[in-house]
Amino acid sequence: MCGIVGYVGKAEAVPVLLDGLRRLEYRGYDSAGLVILRDGELFRRRAVGRIKNLAKLLEEQPVAGHLGICHTRWATHGGVSEANAHPHLDRSGELALVHNGVIENYRDLREELIGHGCEFRSQTDTEVLAMLVGRELDLRGETPVTKELLLGAMRKALRRVQGTYGIGVVHRQLPGMLFGARRGSPLVLGIGKGEHFLASDVAALVTHTREVVYLKDYEMVTAWEDGFEISSLAGGGCSYEINTVEFGAEEVSKGKYPHYMLKEIFEQPNSLRDTMRGRLSSEEATAILGGLNMSNSELRSVERVVLSGCGTAHHAAMVGEYLIESMAQLPTECEFASELRYRNAPMPKDTLVFVISQSGETADTLAALQECRRKGHRSLAICNNVASTIARESDGGVYMHAGPEIGVAATKSFTSQVLVLNLIALLIGRIHNLSSMQGREILKELEQLPEKVEKVLATGDAIAALARKYASCKNFLFLGRQANYPVALEGALKLKEISYLPATGHPTAELKHGIIALINEETPSVVIAPSDAVFDKNLSNIEEIRARKGPVIAVGTEGNRSLEEVADDVIWIPEAPDYLVPILATIPLQLFAYHLAVSLGCDVDKPRNLAKSVTVE
């Protein structure tokens, strides 16, 4: 989950590297460091904490040069310390390496290298990799080090590695040359005029170039000012495609907003429009999803659907289970990707699998996809990065078009995922049982959704005041029924992620089966209670909470005044059909979590211990 940036070109490297690191800080912020290669010498600077600490160190100990690599760390092996910060050096001190991923067999490799006289200065698995490449160079015994020698040493070392990696490498004897390789962790090459870049994410590059090559697993890259080469871990060249990044620097900046999270919450009307654009067919009264790569007859033969994801994506999958079963009458179930990859669950041959991941690089979700495909199941992806590993390795899927999401706490990606699942449910439903009249009614409601979201966002000031009112509370309960139960889980997750307050989500009907023991005057219950078939049941549960003096914040449908009689506070959402309420009900919970965290002084864009893209197990 760490962030990597590399640069080679005519410009001063340090400003480019720091700018890229700041744009990748959502990937990790335990420590940061860089190495600059100049005049045959490596200059390393490392600092614990945020990137601003590294920037301050560089003001005190400046370094100049046109080639460098840098890293922002999310700790996996070893505590947060300068010694564990990247880049790490090999035994000779001539090779520097930065790494995103996990080397699973690092202990065995470390013991072997110690036996060969290597002295380790850190607790990290990354230093093992640096030492291993250096050891392979030593074994060749040739001087000076050439590009071919270093690539050969990297290949031999990486073949011995078990786990995942995206790496950047520079060597003292190879001025003007930047090296990289990937397996299981993202790495992208940026192509400029007289300069080239490496990064874990294109967000680090868009201020400099929008022409990129997304490296595939088991590929290596060598870049210099005026060119680059891509080769395989086995040796030999690789074909590649130069892609143009769809978004620019403005879309990865905060603009007028104080935080990325707030900006992304308010981008949801447009992100939802973009998710739907070109996918609604009034003529056929259905959704058009050509990326599934499945004909209607193939979709009709599906007997079972499995939806899988992690965290917020799993909550979206849970909503999708309700949607597909209600619209298409097709048995559907959800699996945590982290469990599905290890389970030996019985899956009939006509099972269709959807994996959901904003980044398209989530390690557990990727492994679940690979396992399902290995067993012969058609496996499709819902993701926000068309060039991601999950997108490339799936049999097809749906690109969300939600735009870049920088805030660690997912917001617009969740609502876009739920909207995509609505489109899938509509498509399959029309094949099976929905009439054209029903299909057109669903399309009409979908088209009105962005405007209804704008109405919810217009209540932001009132939600902010409500958040401040409850900011002194130490625990929260979130409750919902049917498709709004996963919304309760998502609301609780948002609050936990950015305010660090204990919050749990539950089915409202489970209240009296144990949860009610938690009710007291200091614990607010956020109850999602729209005007639906179970509204009266929700009302009864609210009465049970109030009877025990528990404060109640209700999320209800405009015009339903009976909620005001039983709830302490009510957040209103526009009237909508059941299948769209989860989207509308989620947005006030995002705003509530955001404003509560801000009132507590929390860093909502970079919550402690979290990173945006979970690319390690």
- What are the catalytic residues? 2, 612
Cα gap 308→171, rounded to integer Å = 42
Cα gap 2→568, rounded to integer Å = 43
> Residue 503: enclosing H or E segment and its boundaries?
strand 503-507
Residues 240-243: contacts with CB under 8 Å, at least 24 apart:
240/213, 241/213, 242/191, 242/211, 242/212, 242/213, 243/211, 243/212, 243/213, 243/214, 243/387
Beta carbons within 8 Å of 330's beta carbon, 6+ residues apart? 302, 303, 304, 305, 324, 428, 432
In the chain, the amino acid numbered 300 is: R
* Phi/psi at 167 (5° precision): -130, 155
Q: In angstroms, what CA-CA distances link 120 with 31, 82, 142, 187? A: 19, 14, 24, 27
Helix locations, 38-177, DSSP H = 51-60, 106-115, 125-140, 147-159
Beta carbons within 8 Å of 439's beta carbon, 6+ residues apart? 284, 285, 286, 426, 429, 430
> Residue 337: enclosing H or E segment and its boundaries?
helix 337-340
Partner residues linked to 37 by β-bridges: 42
Partner residues linked to 178 by β-bridges: 223
Contact 122, 83 (CB under 8 A): yes
Identify the three-state secondary structure at position 584.
Answer: helix
Contact 353, 340 (CB under 8 A): no
Taking residue 282's Cβ as centre, other Cβ atoms within 10 Å add up to 11
Helix locations, 433-476, DSSP H = 436-457, 460-469
Cα gap 156→414, rounded to integer Å = 41
Contact 410, 386 (CB under 8 A): no
Contact 389, 568 (CB under 8 A): no
The DSSP code for 485 is: H
Q: What are the strands of the beta sheet with 552-557, ordered from one edge? A: 503-507, 476-480, 525-528, 552-557, 569-573
Cα gap 347→349, rounded to integer Å = 6
Helix locations, 384-531, DSSP H = 389-393, 412-432, 436-457, 460-469, 485-499
